[in-house]
Amino acid sequence: MPELPEVETVRRGLEPAMLGARIRKVELRRADIRFPFPNRFAERLKGRQIVALTRRAKYLLFGLDSGEALIAHLGMSGSFRVDAAKAIIPGAFHHERSKDPKHDHVVFELDNGNVVTYNDPRRFGFMDLVRNEALATYPRLCALGDEPLAPEFDADRLAMLSAGSRAPLKAVLLDQKRIAGLGNIYVCEALFRARLSPSNPASILSNARGGPTRAAVALAQAIREVLEQAIEAGGSTLRDHRQADGALGYFQHSFSVYDREGSACPRARCGGTIARISQSGRSTFYCPVCQK
Ligand SMILES: [Zn+2]
Instruction: Measure 288 CA to ligand 1 centroid, in angstroms.
Output: 7
DSSP state of 76: T
Predicted confidence band at 214 (pLDDT cuts at 50, 70, 90)? very high
Sign of the alpha-carbon torsion through 80, 81, 83, 85 = positive
Mean pLDDT of all residues in 192-197: 98
Mean pLDDT of all residues in 252-267: 88
Of the ranges 75-79, 94-98, 188-192, which is most confident?
188-192
Mean pLDDT of all residues in 193-212: 96
The whole-angstrom separation of Cα 124 and Cα 65 is 28
Q: Does the pLDDT at position 217 exceed 80?
A: yes
Q: Does the pLDDT at position 234 exceed 90?
A: no
First-to-last CA distance in the chain? 29
Q: Does the pLDDT at position 247 exceed 60?
A: no
Question: Which of 19, 131, 138, 118 shows the shortest CA–CA distance to 74?
Answer: 118
Q: Does the pLDDT at position 253 exceed 80?
A: no
Instruction: Measure 291 CA to ligand 1 centroid, in angstroms.
Output: 7
- pLDDT value, residue 77: 81
What would the pLDDT profile of 118-143 be if each residue is shown by its tens digit? 988 888 999 999 999 999 999 999 99
Predicted confidence band at 13 (pLDDT cuts at 50, 70, 90)? confident
Mark the residues whose beta carbon lies below 5 A from ion ligand 1. Answer: 265, 267, 270, 272, 287, 289-290
Cα 150 to chain centroid, rounded: 14
Q: Does the pLDDT at position 87 exceed 70?
A: no
Kindly list the catalytic residues: 2-3, 58, 282
Mean pLDDT of all residues in 13-40: 92
